[in-house]
Structure 1
Amino acid sequence: MGSNREHSARHARSELVSASSQTGAELSVSELTVGYGGGPVLHDISITVRPGEVVALLGANGAGKTTLLSALTGRVRAASGSVTFDGRDLRGMRTEDRARLGLALVPDGQSVVGELTVDENLRLGALWRHRGKAREAAIRQIYGMFEPLDRRKHADGHQLSGGERQMLALGRALIAEPRLIALDEPSLGLAPLVVAQIMRTLRETARERGLTVLLAEQNVTGALSIADRGVVVNLGRIVADGDAKALAEDPSIRHAYLGF
C-alpha cells in the first residue's frame, strides 16, 4: 500500500515537471538591511541560492528568518541592500509581480482560504498559470502528490488539520509553477509523519524539476536532512553558511546556534 502511494506521488511530480517549461532560478541577496522602525532586524545579509539548490535557513525564533523571507517577497521594504532574482533587480517591485516572476512564499499555512474548499483553494492558486484542461490536469497532479487532500477536496479550509493545511498551502504554491519557493516553518506544530512527507516532497520536487528552495526552519534535523546547504542566522546576522552535512556535524555550530 505504502509503495503504491509513493509511486503515485512520484508519477504526479513527474507530470508536474513535464507540464512546466520553467526551471529553478538564482536568488542573490547583497548587504540587505531590514528594520521595522525600532532599529534593524537584519544586518547586511548576503546570500546566494543557486538554481535547483535546497538551502535551509536556520536559527532560533526571532533570529530574523521570517523577516528575510518577507523582504525577499516584497512584504516588507528593505532599508538598504539589493535582491536580484534570475538576474532581475527586485527593488521597488510589488509582491504580486515578484510572484509572477516565479518567486513564491508559503507562510506557515496562512495562505489557505478557510471559507473555500480544498479544491477551490487549488483552483485559486492555478488561476493565472493554467486554463481549461491544463488546470484540471495540474490539480489532479497535486492530489497525486498529497493524497490526504484528494480525500478532503470538498472540505472547507478551516476544517482541515494543521498538516492538511500545510499540504494545501504547498500544493497551491506548486500549482503556480514557481521557480523559487520560500517556506516559513512548514513543520511547525505538525506530526512527525506529516513533516517527513512534506520534507520528502520538497526534496524530490526540487531534484526532479530543478526547483530552487529556501526553507526557513527551527526543525534543524529535518531541514538539514533534505538541504544541500545550511545558512545559520543569529540576531539578524549570518553566522554560518556551508554544506548541510558539515553543519550538522560541526559541534561548535550545533551547540551555539542549533540547539542539539
Structure 2
Amino acid sequence: MSALACEGLTVGYGGAPVIDALDLDIAEGAVVALLGANGAGKTTLLRALTGLVPLRTGRIALHGRDLTAESTEDRVRSGLALVPEGRSVVVELTVDENLRLGGLWRHRRKALDAAAEDMYALFPALDRRRRAPGHTLSGGERQMLALARALLARPRVLLLDEPSLGLAPKATAQLLGVLRATAARTGLTVLLAEQNVTGALSVADRGVVLSLGAVAADRPAADLAADPALRHAYLGF
C-alpha cells in the first residue's frame, strides 16, 4: 500500500524549476533514502510535500488522500511530519518543554506524559537532561530532541532533512539506528534526505537519487550502494 505518493510534481522559485515533473511512490512502512548532490532538489521536495512551498503542477497523496490543496497544518494533522535541517530547538525552553511541543494538539495531558516517557526511553541522553535549557545541548542532543518531538506527534510519514549534518560519526550512527528501529517496530514510513550516503543506505530499504530535480535512480538500497558507476556519477564516492 502506498503511504506517500506524488505525481508530476514541479516546483520552483521563479526561474527554472528545481523539481521537474517528478513521480515518487513510497510504500507503507518503508525507509527511503533521498540522495543527491547539493542543489539536486532534496530540501525543495520535502518542503513541497509539506506545503511550505507551492506547486506549479502535480498531486500529492498521503495514504490515498489528496493533500495537494491542503495547508501545512492540515497535512501535519493528517500524519505528515517534517524534521527540517538545522536542529530546530527552542533554546529558551528546557528539553522537556521542547519535547512536549510535539504533542500539544494530539495528546491529552495523561497521554502526553506517557508519550514523553516513551521518548525518554528511546533517547536516554535526553532523559538525563530533561530539565536542561535547549541552548546547553550538544549538536547530537539537539538533533535527537528534534526527532523525538516529531515522533511524539505519532506521524504516519516522517520526512527528515539532513539529520546527520554536522554530527560526529558516533552520534550519526546512534540517530540513524534509532530511526531504523522505530520504523521497524511501529511501521512508520520514512523519507530521509541525506548527504551521508553510506549511513542513509545502511538503514534504508530503498534509495532514490535526485539529479537536477529529476529521479536519476530508484533502486533497493543494497543495490545502489554496490553500484560503483552510479555512486561515482551521482553520489561522489
Residue 76 (structure 2) pairs with residue 99 (structure 1): yes
Which of 98, 102, 115 aligns to 1:121? It is 98
3-state SS of the aligned residue for 1:40? coil
CA RMSD, Structure 1 to Structure 2 (Å): 1.2
Deviation of 1:206 (Å): 0.6
Partner of 1:77: 54
Q: Is the 8 A contact 1:109 1:169 kept in 2?
A: no
Which of 137, 142, 161 aligns to 1:184? It is 161
Partner of 2:36: 59
Residue 228 (structure 2) pairs with residue 238 (structure 1): no
What are the equivalent positions in structure 2 for 1:187-226 lying under 5 Å apart? 187-226=164-203
The residue type equivalent to 1:40 in the other structure is: P
The residue type equivalent to 2:47 in the other structure is: S
Deviation of 1:135 (Å): 1.0
Give the aligned length.
237
Closer, same or farther in 2 for the Cα pair 1:155/1:109, shift >3 Å?
Answer: farther
Q: Is the 8 A contact 1:60 1:258 kept in 2?
A: yes
Cα distance in 2 between the residues matched to 1:182 and 1:79: 21
What are the equivalent positions in structure 2 for 1:134-213 lying under 5 Å apart? 134-213=111-190
Q: Deviations over 1:52-104 (max 9, x none)?
A: 00000000111100000000001001100111111111112110110000100
Cα distance in 2 between the residues matched to 1:157 and 1:25: 37
3-state SS of the aligned residue for 2:53? coil
Deviation of 1:25 (Å): 6.5
Q: Deviations over 1:179-206 (max 9, x none)?
A: 0000000000001111111111111111
For structure 1, the 5+ residue unaligned runs are 1-23
Cα distance in 2 between the residues matched to 1:108 and 1:163: 13
Closer, same or farther in 2 for the Cα pair 1:60/1:201, shift >3 Å?
Answer: same
Deviation of 1:110 (Å): 3.9
Q: Is the 8 A contact 2:2 2:25 kept in 1?
A: no
Cα distance in 2 between the residues matched to 1:41 and 1:107: 18
3-state SS of the aligned residue for 1:172? helix
After TM superposition, the score normalised by the length of structure 1 is 0.89
Cα distance in 1 between the residues matched to 2:12 and 2:22: 12
For structure 2, the 5+ residue unaligned runs are none
After TM superposition, the score normalised by the length of structure 2 is 0.97
Q: Deviations over 1:120-169 (max 9, x none)?
A: 01111111111122111111111111111111111222221111110000
Q: Deviations over 1:26-60 (max 9, x none)?
A: 10111100000122111111010110000000001
Q: Percent identity?
A: 64
Which stretch of the first structure deviates more once superposed, 248-257 or 149-158?
149-158
Deviation of 1:108 (Å): 2.3
Cα distance in 2 between the residues matched to 1:228 and 1:161: 30
Partner of 2:11: 34
Cα distance in 2 between the residues matched to 1:98 and 1:111: 19
Query: Which structure 1 residue ranges, 4+ long, deviate > 3 Å from structure 2?
Result: none
Q: Is the 8 A contact 2:87 2:139 kept in 1?
A: no
Cα distance in 2 between the residues matched to 1:250 and 1:112: 38
